[in-house]
Amino acid sequence: MTIDAQILSALREPAAVSGAELSKRIGISRAAIWARIEDLRKLGYDIEAGPHVGYRLISTPDVLHADDLTARLGRTRVIGRDIRVFEQTTSTNDIAARLAQDGVKEGVVIFAESQSKGRGRLGRNWVSPPRKGLWFSILLRPKIRPQCATQLTVAAATALVRAIQSETGILPEIKWPNDILIRGKKVAGILTELTAELELVKDIIVGIGVDVNIDDFPVELRKIATSLKIETGATVDRPSLAAAVLRELDRDYARICVGDFGELAEEWQEGCTTIGQNVSIRLGERVVRGRAEALDGEGAMLLRTEHGHLERIIGGDVSVDKNA
Ligand code: BTN
């Protein structure tokens, strides 16, 4: 952990901590601690200091700061060991792909306060306004077959559901394969991209976009998109939500790595409103219709087609057929 991350982590402890204590724990002088605290204050961290009470963290700014995210996250197995924050980028998935090529260790997480070319599935644009959401990507290298990559999307979806519920009290639904909805409107999406060699995944990039504090959407999105702020009526703490998602995902990633996907699939099916519904799935030019029956061990959907066959679908654009 960097010095700032260690300071912020200590300041999150319930009791105030003195300059002498911080200096001893971190191994730098009290003057150096004071200088770091001054810099954190300039970034918007409200840190109270009293001669006899020590330092106390009063409030934090609505910015994503790598050291703060590290301090909030605490120790994880893989995800978030390295966190990098950009003010602006084209797409965090692009940055993660570049880091993958450079051989950066798995678990690195790239956040951007805004994206100029945020992308969704099927080549769609993903609106990513500054400081209004969480736009981030995680680089992973699980030793799994390419067919199992959907497991990571499933893990990201369940992690998002748990984190959103714990941070806002709202239980979102999952729409197969990668949408998180509240009252039928999309609040978050997942874009999983991978490079693979014949039988083994090389790099997986899990890109996650959460509409956190967006107040209003462009007219064309108003009927289908929402934000946590619109749903709760209050500004949601973005860094706290980000840390919660990463913590949940780190736990589930460990399960996937040891081949333990069963429980996760069950949890996913419980939260997934697509299962049990009659759906149409667009697969390029082809549209298949049927009943979404279940999720298999690799994360694919098992669809009972209108002709009675069981078809295994690994991706596509789903719409629920209300009148079928
Ligand atoms: C979708 O629902 O179609 C997926 C949306 C994924 C958006 C996120 S935002 C962070 C990451 N970078 C991108 O360009 N896309 C993903």
Is the CB of residue 209 below 6 angstroms from any atom belonging to ligand 1? yes
Evaluate if residue 222 carries a pLDDT over 70. yes
pLDDT tens digits, one per residue of 248-305: 999 999 999 999 988 888 888 888 888 999 999 988 888 999 999 988 888 888 999 9
| 115 pLDDT above the threshold of 60 | yes
Q: Contact 56/48 with Cβ under 8 angstroms?
A: yes
Sign (positive or negative) of CA dihedral 17, 22, 24, 25: positive
Domains of the chain from N-terminus onward: 3-59 (1.10.10.10), 66-271 (3.30.930.10), 278-320 (2.30.30.100)
- Cα 324 to middle of ligand 1, angstroms: 31
Chain segment 132-186, per-residue pLDDT in tens: 999 999 999 999 999 889 899 999 999 999 999 999 999 999 998 789 999 999 9
CA of 125 to the centre of ligand 1 (A): 8
Query: One-letter amino acid identity for 63?
Result: V
Task: Write the Ramachandran bin of 184: left for phi over 0, alpha for psi from -120 to 50, otherwise beta.
Answer: left
Ligand 1 binding pocket includes 229 (Cβ within 6 Å) = no
CB 121 within 8 A of CB 178: yes
pLDDT at 80: 97
C-alpha 80 to ligand 1 mean position (Å): 18
Per DSSP, the three-state class of 36 is helix
* pLDDT at residue 324 tops 60: no
Averaged pLDDT of the chain: 93
